Amino acid sequence: MQQAANDTLSERNAQLNAEVLDLKNGYDAIEERARFSLGMIGRDETFYMVVASKL
Task: Give this prediction's pTM.
Answer: 0.52
Residues 6+ apart with CB under 8 A from 28: 22
| pLDDT at res. 51 | 93
**Span 1-55, pLDDT tens digits:** 999 999 999 999 999 998 888 878 888 878 888 888 888 898 899 988 899 998 7
Total domains in the chain come to 1
Q: Which range of residues forms the domain containing residue 28? A: 1-55
Whole-angstrom Cα distance, residue 10 to residue 4?
10
